[in-house]
DNA sequence: AATAAACTGTTAATGAAATAACAATACAAA
DNA sequence: TTTGTATTGTTATTTCATTAACAGTTTATT
């Protein structure tokens, strides 16, 4: 059950979201093909993932939704919860703050940072904005593990360096600048130009998903 | 040279961006290890990708930057260029519009759509916003190939259906709702909660990249 | 001319992920 | 009780992506 494949982890997150909707609809059991249908993958893949996390369904009822949600929670979340911050309160930063508001209890954005004095000390969707100079101290005080980088590309590298010094453990980079951080730090690169150009290539070549 | 691997296409986009910076610095030749260093991958991977697109470097000078940029352009871009639109002009939609402004000549955001009457007819960073009812007609008139979906999750599925009817060829989904569109349509899923939860999992398990 | 250094290009091996095929089981219906 | 059906769970295969190993080539240096 340890060291799950990359893609399985991504799907677990999606499974949970779909399952929470089921629970809200009072649906207590679900078959692999139903869950597969909700996120548009194959039933086999669902079953394989579920085996990987060490869960078993029952033959005529499928999987117990609550148990599965709880198990996925044990895998993705920590008991005490993790805290994240936004670095760079532009449109994108604000979009993410707002979007995450009240979505998860075990994974919360607790601080934002910006250089603009107008933004500092403002509160965006409940998240306070600090001056970038306080990055290190606030991260340590609030025990923030993950940083979401939404600053302009030119300053991304230097901010990442500061984050590393502050002891951050994961960085999600929405900046166009590829980052170079210690192997110890989880790094997710999500550059939007690449996403769009990739789409352009496949559209051009008439290839669907 | 046809049907390049998924990951190679992504890297080509990154190569080009790095190479354009080189050109701006008047650097006309580049070695595989230099290019690899810029985006933090291995030189072997760079060389493999370059072989795949049918290009050759020279032994003592490496790759000709201009030629490589031009070749990548021929692969990713179309002669006439592609047009894209934003559906949903919230913070995220505006962030993307602004971010893409003047970034690429062959890939341009030409329209935005929203239901809010206050936003309709506004121009965001040079991109006009139309009412969602005109989605189909505007897409056809402007020959828009790609839609970037930044609407609330609840309406994503119905918007996607309309996009499909309008003859869209690629959808980039920033919505938390997984989409189900025809196999013919390229679909990129970029849900931010999944990105963050994935980071949480790896941070929790002390696993870097 | 010979040698060494610094590359590119190619093939082979490995690893990760997805798919296919099928075995096993519980239940319903005849 | 038997048979059929729908489902899970498991193993094997295939496909895709990365890494490793090394062969080949040009140029500078001696």
For A132-171, write each residue's pLDDT tens digit: 999 999 999 999 999 999 999 999 999 999 999 999 999 9
Q: Per the CB < 8 Å rule, is B178 touching A40?
A: yes
Facing residue for A13 by CB, picked from B3, B4, B194? B194
> Whole-number mean pLDDT of chain B?
96
What's the rounded Cα separation, in Å, for the pair A19 and B191?
A: 16
Residue range B55-59: mean pLDDT, rounded:
92
Q: Cα–chain-centroid distance for residue A195?
A: 17
User: Is some CB atom of chain A closer than 8 A to the CB atom of B158?
Assistant: no
What is the pLDDT at residue B1? 55
Using the structure block, give the residue that is written with the tokens 């996925």.
A72
Show me where the domains of chain B are located: 6-75, 82-194
What is the pLDDT at residue A148? 98
Interface probe, candidates B149, B201, B206, B208, chain A, greatest A C-beta count within 10 A: B201
Percent residues over pLDDT 90 in chain B:
94
pLDDT band at B145 (very low <50, low <70, confident <90, very high): very high
* Residue B21 in this model has a pLDDT that exceeds 90: yes
What is the pLDDT at residue A185? 96
**Helix-helix angle A192-204:B6-24, to 10 degrees:** 120
For the stretch B69-84, pLDDT in tens is 999 999 999 999 999 9
What is the pLDDT at residue B59? 86
- Fold match between B6-75 and B82-194? no
What is the pLDDT at residue A47? 97
For the stretch B149-193, pLDDT in tens is 999 999 999 999 999 999 999 999 999 999 999 999 999 999 999
Give the bridge partners for B58, in sequence order. B62
* Under-70 pLDDT residues of chain A: 1, 209
What is the pLDDT at residue A208? 72
User: Which one, of B180, B153, B181, lies nearest residue B168 by Cα?
Assistant: B181
* Residue B2 in this model has a pLDDT that exceeds 90: no
Structure tokens at B83: 């047009």
CB count within 10 Å of CB B5 equals: 11
Taking only residues 170 to 189 of chain A, the set having a beta carbon closer than 8 angstroms to any beta carbon of chain B reads: 170, 172, 176, 178-180, 182-188
* Residue B66 in this model has a pLDDT that exceeds 90: yes
What is the pLDDT at residue B114? 98
Superfamily assignment of B82-194 in CATH? NAD(P)-binding Rossmann-like Domain (3.40.50.720)
User: Is some CB atom of chain A closer than 8 A to the CB atom of B145?
Assistant: yes
Sign of torsion, CA B153 B154 B155 B158? Answer: positive
Written in H, E and C, the secondary structure of A106-128 is CEEEEEEEECCCCCCCCEECCEE
Instruction: Say which residues have a Cβ less than 8 Å from residue A161's Cβ, sequence separation at least 6.
Output: none
User: Is some CB atom of chain B closer than 8 A to the CB atom of A39?
Assistant: yes
What's the rounded Cα separation, in Å, for the pair B196 and A171?
A: 9
Residue range B115-120: mean pLDDT, rounded:
96
Across all strands, nucleotide nearest A8 (CA–C1'): C17
CATH of region A6-75, choose from 3.10.20.30, 3.60.15.10, 1.10.10.10, 2.40.50.140? 1.10.10.10
CA dist B126 to A187, B120, B129, Å? Answer: 33, 13, 10
* b/e code B38-73 from CB counts within 10 Å (16+ = b): bbebeeebbbebbebbeeebeeeebbbbeebbebbe
């Amino acid at each position: 059950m340890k060291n799950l494949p990359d893609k399985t982890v991504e799907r677990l997150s999606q499974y949970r979201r779909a399952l929470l909707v089921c629970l809200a609809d009072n649906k207590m059991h679900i078959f692999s093909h139903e869950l597969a249908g909700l996120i548009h993958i194959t039933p086999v893949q669902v079953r394989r993932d579920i085996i990987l996390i060490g869960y078993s369904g029952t033959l005529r009822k499928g999987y117990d939704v609550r148990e599965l949600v709880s198990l996925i929670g044990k895998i993705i979340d920590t008991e005490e919860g993790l805290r994240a911050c936004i670095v760079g309160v532009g449109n994108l930063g604000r979009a993410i703050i707002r979007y995450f508001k009240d979505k998860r209890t075990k994974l919360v954005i607790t601080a934002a940072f910006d250089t603009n004095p107008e933004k500092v000390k403002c509160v965006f969707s409940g998240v306070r904005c600090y001056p970038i100079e306080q990055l290190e101290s606030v991260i340590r005080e609030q025990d923030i593990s993950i940083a979401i980088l939404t600053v302009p590309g030119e300053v991304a590298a230097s901010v990442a360096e500061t984050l590393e010094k502050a002891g951050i453990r994961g960085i999600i980079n929405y900046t166009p600048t590829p980052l170079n951080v210690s192997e110890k730090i989880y790094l997710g690169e999500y550059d939007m130009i690449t996403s769009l150009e990739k789409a352009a290539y496949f559209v051009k070549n008439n290839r669907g998903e």
